[in-house]
Amino acid sequence: MASYFAKLNHPDDRVILIEKNTYLGAKVIISGGGRCNVTTGIKDVKKVLKNYPRGSQFLRTSIYNFSPQSVMDWFESQGVPLKIEDDLRVFPISNNGKDIVGALEDALRGNGVEILLNAQITDIQRSSEQQFEITFKTGDKLISDKLILTTGGNAYRQTGSTGDGYGFAKTLGHSISPLAPSLSSLHLSENWIHLLSGISFPKAKFTFTQNDIKAERTGAFLFTHKGITGPAVFALSAIVAHQQFTPENPAKVQIDLLPETNPEQLDLLLQEKFQQNPTKKLVNVLGFIVPHRMAEQILENLFELLVNHPKLIKTLEKYNIAQLFEMTCTNASKDLRKAILLILKNLPLTIIGRSAGEEFVTAGGIPLDEVDPKTMQSKITPGLFFAGELLDIDGYTGGFNLQASWATGTLAGESV
């Protein structure tokens, strides 16, 4: 986007796009599971900006300048029809990210942008003439009047997004804020969690605590062999991207599995199910409310999950786990019902890590106070511009990170 708009606005200037891979858009192609979630279907820019845990204020100028609607209009004008799905994510109708990259490449070549593929840069220096001297791995050099760095973060390193731009930026006078994985899955310490792998909930409320840090997020999630994943978990991990989790320094997360049902309503629902099925086993009737495997693990780990409720544990000590599994609804005590309700509304789990290397986005990067948000130009080195994930900007899932990239790239290209 930066090179396209630079050439569009300065047709007589030479614009060169330098790509270290053998083809363009490796990370774009694999985004959205290969379908490329190109932007968001949210029209209100104020609402769009609420989806960036870092950088929302900085992005105001660029996203108002090149909004999600502008992104959609641009790609459709390049011959790529798009669709807005029910969750407001935008994809090409073909469900193929290669169509997005193909449109970009055709637009660049058709506009006269020179593309250097398989061209790895090893060094960038400021020359005495206030130009940029770019050195390639081959030893060749290129002198440039202006330079836009859009090399991405260090997530999905297999695509070539290996953080090279951080080193270039430091050489050119910039600092780098602490880097952390964002939009990652979370690993849990509970050894039985793998038995829930594949179970999903369309809506749950997460409450995260670690020392004095607290965060909340509501949305869909999925249990994995190691922990939890899905949109709500990715968003939560983004909010607390700079928190460290280890077995020695864990964080706590409490999950309300039924956030749209308050405790009183849920208690009435449990009583109703028990009364309707008096001779059925408790575990099977509980399976009417949550997936059966979830019901099994609630009973299997009942005392562990009630660790913060010692008085309630004491009233239930007369039962062993085997008895709980054989118990019929008619024999379920009020205290046992209360215990189940507490767990459904407040499932306590322990976070001990993230999915290393699987994060979609890097939190951190070029500090935003070192860049002019109205032009994307460096406040430290005139003629140097930034765009995309290299900046200390990251968004939630749903097309927000690509939207930020298109918008900041466009503004940098128009400003250069």
Task: Identify the pLDDT of residue 310.
Answer: 92
Q: Is the pLDDT of residue 160 over 70?
A: no
Place 359 in a pLDDT band, splitting at 50, 70 and 90.
low
Neighbours of 284 (CB within 10 A): 15
**Looking at residues 271-287, what average pLDDT do you find?**
95
Task: Identify the pLDDT of residue 180.
Answer: 86
By C-alpha distance, which of 395, 398, 416, 393 is closest to 152?
Answer: 393
Task: Identify the pLDDT of residue 237.
Answer: 93
Q: Which domains does the chain have, with CATH numbers?
A: 2-180+359-415 (3.50.50.60), 184-357 (no CATH)
Q: Is the pLDDT of residue 416 over 60?
A: yes
The pTM (predicted TM-score) of the whole model is 0.86
**Looking at residues 46-52, what average pLDDT do you find?**
97
Place 356 in a pLDDT band, splitting at 50, 70 and 90.
low
User: In angstroms, rounded to a whole number, what is the distance separating the alpha carbons of residues 384 and 409?
Assistant: 13
By C-alpha distance, which of 156, 213, 75, 167 is closest to 355?
Answer: 156
Task: Identify the pLDDT of residue 387.
Answer: 98
* Segment 117-145, tens digit of pLDDT: 999 999 999 988 889 999 999 999 999 99
**What value does the mean pLDDT of the chain take?**
94
**Looking at residues 157-177, what average pLDDT do you find?**
82
User: In angstroms, rounded to a whole number, what is the distance separating the alpha carbons of residues 283 and 295?
Assistant: 6
Task: Identify the pLDDT of residue 158.
Answer: 53
DSSP letter string over 272-321? Answer: HHHHH-TTSBHHHHHTTTS-HHHHHHHHHTHHHHTTT-HHHHHHHTT--H
Percent of the chain at pLDDT above 70?
Answer: 97
